[in-house]
């Protein structure tokens, strides 16, 4: 890892500097190192409030970045920033993605095919059975299981994915050096070997209650869709569902008894438009994920024919409706929709809702000749 990242870590220590202010500092100073070493006068010029500048200067005075960076390296923690090509693509596409994420374990390209499985801590026997069935089905189909390492449904999802030989990612509401709850330390160790434990909170951050709702945006942001197994009326899983909807992710909810408090939230989600989670097939069918392994291979290839090449020339980073794409490409609508589906699986384009698509990748060679 580049030592330049230690300045991103430094800025990440300052409470009050989130994604928006972080981006503004980078725009103003050009890089994180210059921003970290900026004078109070220059910081005022950026428009930072006086209170945050005071916090910034205090944190800078109290922090020896070289020592903190050495600690990160010694603990085999990977730091990913917006500048890294390995920063998770889906997460980077959400509104205000975290500038810095800390990773214990590894994130791989196949983790782009991730499904979040979350739910109540007070799991019922029905919820446990459903969580195990869904998580094992996802793992067997080559999908990564994302959750929050919390008690209840989260832990069951992680454990089941591991037992099924799959990958799993846990998103913490504390620093990655402080596993919470403590009884999940062994589970976290297993996850680090077969996936990752990640956080956008600096090392040493305690598991305070206010940290958990914001981290849910990362759980949904990493994922193609979110499956809510059981959730009461005030369950934190419903916050994840809300983030998922805002991010354009599909939401699946497990139906339950109208008399069960654990199913009050999921039943309401279904009533307001979530997909009923009747089996693993519900997810595979809606997301067209019947052959994930083949699709993961397909993501590494260039446009396969003239139709895909023509569509790439038409598409841009601004959303375009499929009808507009058809008109601009002068291709039959059936060929357009079929090609766009395959191109999305390859990672060349992305559907952003409402049958609108954007181009994701720029081909690195001449996709008409393959040279």
Average pLDDT of 168-174? 97
- Interatomic CA distance for residues 237 and 234, integer angstroms: 8
What is the pLDDT, as a whole number, of residue 335?
86
Residue 66 phi, psi (nearest 5)? -60, -40
The reported pLDDT for the residue numbered 1 is: 59
61 Cβ contact list (under 8 Å, min separation 6): none
Domain ranges of the chain: 1-74, 105-286, 301-359
Q: Which of 272 and 318 is assigned the larger pLDDT? A: 272
* Annotation: CATH topology of 301-359: Arc Repressor Mutant, subunit A (1.10.10)
Q: What is the rounded CA–CA span in Å between residue 120 and residue 118?
A: 7
- The band of 317, judged by pLDDT with boundaries at 50, 70 and 90, is confident
Is pLDDT at 283 greater than 70 in this prediction? yes
| 260: β partners | none
Q: How many CB atoms lie within 10 A of CB 182?
A: 9
Closest CA to 134 of 109, 111, 116: 116
- Phi, psi dihedrals of residue 119, rounded to the nearest 5°: 170, -165
pLDDT band at 371 (very low <50, low <70, confident <90, very high): very low
Q: Kindly list the distances between the CA atom of residue 199 and the CA atoms of 18, 215, 315, in Å, as whole numbers in the listed order.
A: 14, 8, 34
Query: Of 323 and 338, which is predicted with more confidence?
Result: 323
pLDDT of 109 over the 90 cut: no
pLDDT of residue 300: 52
Q: Which two tokens stand for residue 133?
A: 């069935």
Give the distance, in angstroms, between the CA of residue 162 and the centroid of all CA atoms in the same chain: 19
pLDDT of amino acid 364: 39
Q: Which residue, among 298, 297, 304, has the nearest Cα to 369 in the 3D structure?
A: 304
Angle at 128 between CA 126 and CA 129, to 5 degrees: 65
Task: Look at 306 and 81; give whichever has higher pLDDT.
Answer: 81
Backbone torsions φ then ψ of 147, nearest 5 degrees? -160, -170
Domain 105-286: which CATH class? alpha beta
**Gap between the Cα atoms of 225 and 246, Å rounded:** 12
**pLDDT higher than threshold 80 for residue 46:** yes
Residue 94 confidence (pLDDT): 93
What mean pLDDT comes out for the span 330-340?
88
What is the number of helices (H) and of strands (E) in the chain? 18, 12
Give the model's confidence band at 294: pLDDT under 50 very low, under 70 low, under 90 confident, else very high.
low
In this structure, of 66-70, 87-91, 158-162, 347-351, the range with the lowest mean pLDDT score is 347-351
194 vs 301 pLDDT, higher one:
194
Indicate whether 346 pLDDT > 90: no
The span from the CA of 36 to the CA of 25, in Å, is 9
Q: How much is the mean pLDDT over the chain?
A: 90
Judged by average pLDDT, the poorest of 51-55, 253-257, 258-262, 296-300 is 296-300
178-189, pLDDT tens digit by residue?
999 999 999 999
């Amino acid at each position: 890892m580049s030592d330049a990242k230690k300045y991103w870590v430094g800025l990440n220590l300052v409470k009050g500097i989130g994604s928006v202010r972080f981006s503004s500092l980078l725009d103003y100073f050009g890089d994180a190192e210059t921003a970290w070493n900026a004078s109070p006068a220059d910081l005022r010029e950026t428009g930072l409030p006086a209170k945050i500048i005071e916090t910034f200067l205090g944190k800078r005075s109290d922090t020896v970045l070289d020592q903190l960076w050495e600690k990160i390296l010694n603990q085999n923690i990977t730091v990913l920033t917006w500048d890294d090509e390995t920063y998770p693509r889906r997460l980077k596409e959400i509104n205000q993605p975290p500038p810095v994420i800390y990773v214990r374990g590894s994130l791989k390209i196949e983790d782009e095919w991730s499904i979040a499985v979350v739910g109540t801590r007070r799991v019922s026997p029905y919820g446990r059975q459903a969580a195990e069935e869904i998580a094992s089905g996802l793992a067997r189909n080559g999908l990564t299981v994302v959750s929050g390492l919390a008690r209840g449904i989260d832990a069951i999802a992680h454990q089941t994915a591991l037992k099924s030989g799959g990958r799993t990612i846990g998103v913490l509401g504390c620093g990655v050096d402080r596993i919470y709850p403590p009884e999940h330390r062994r589970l976290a160790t297993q996850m680090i070997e077969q996936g990752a434990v990640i956080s956008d909170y600096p090392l040493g951050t305690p598991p305070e209650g206010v940290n958990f709702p914001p981290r849910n945006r990362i759980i949904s942001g990493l994922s193609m869709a979110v499956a809510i197994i059981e959730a009461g009326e005030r369950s934190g899983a419903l916050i994840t569902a809300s983030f998922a909807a805002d991010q354009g992710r599909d939401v699946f909810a497990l139906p339950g008894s109208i008399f069960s408090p654990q199913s009050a939230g999921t039943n309401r989600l279904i009533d307001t438009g979530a997909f009923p989670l009747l089996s693993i097939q519900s997810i595979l069918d809606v997301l067209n994920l019947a052959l994930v392994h083949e699709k993961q291979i397909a993501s590494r290839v260039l446009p396969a024919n003239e139709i895909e090449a023509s569509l790439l020339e038409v598409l841009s980073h601004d959303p375009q409706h499929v009808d507009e794409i058809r008109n601009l490409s002068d291709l039959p609508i059936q060929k357009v929709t079929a090609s766009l589906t395959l191109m999305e699986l390859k990672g060349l384009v992305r559907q952003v809702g409402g049958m609108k698509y954007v181009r994701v990748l720029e081909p690195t060679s001449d996709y008409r000749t393959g040279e």
